[in-house]
Amino acid sequence: MVPTAYCFYNWTNLIDNPEQYDTPKLKELIPEPFHSLGKKSLQKVREGIKQGSDPIWSRFYSEIKPFKEEYFPVNFRRALEKGIKIVAAVDGGVSGAAYVPHGQLYKELELYVDNGMNEFQAIQTATKNPAELLGIEKEVGSVEVGKVGDLVVLDDNPLEIISNVKNINCVIKGGIIAYKSKGGKYK
């Protein structure tokens, strides 16, 4: 199961709070003219919902609100109880950058923990579970001898607080440091 819950959560947040679309981060991630086009599109959707003149968006919005407030928490917990394997994804892509800005996968993991998953299970939804889903678990997905040694080194323990997955110290790809945080705790 791939919930893509944060996409729905943030989409309704943007409809309810359109000023969030004008953050510096979104303006950086969505270059002009795409940012302006997205803003106009968002305004049009909001007007259509408010006036009831756009039946498709009005219906979508009216169905998404209960999804985020009622259905997702209940169904997510039910999936956990049944042992259904969950894979973290945000369904953003280029067109969804406003709804799920780059680097926001941790918010999807936070939703999982907020709805009954422990931190270790949440990490597995972004590592081990996708590798198993793709049938490449013998090469990637966990740290073991003989597997590809790509690692993300964190400053803080995500098993204590899942949001710590966003505190990246460095990224090691193929045994070489591909990215190093300027302000990381570890040198």
pLDDT tens by residue, 116-165:
999 999 999 999 999 999 999 999 999 899 888 789 999 999 999 999 99
Half-sphere exposure of 171 (CA within 13 A, CB side): 7
**Would you list the domain boundaries of the chain?**
5-141, 149-187
pLDDT tens digits, 51-61: 877 777 777 77
pTM: 0.79
176-180 β-sheet, strand order? 151-154, 168-173, 176-180
Residue showing tokens 């090691």: 172
Listed in sequence order, the residues at least 6 apart from 160 whose beta carbon sits closer than 8 Å to its beta carbon are 119
Nearest CA to 101 out of 35, 49, 47 is that of 35
Q: What are phi and psi of 176, to 5 degrees?
A: -120, 140
- Please count the CA atoms within 13 angstroms of the CA of 79 that sit on its side-chain side: 17
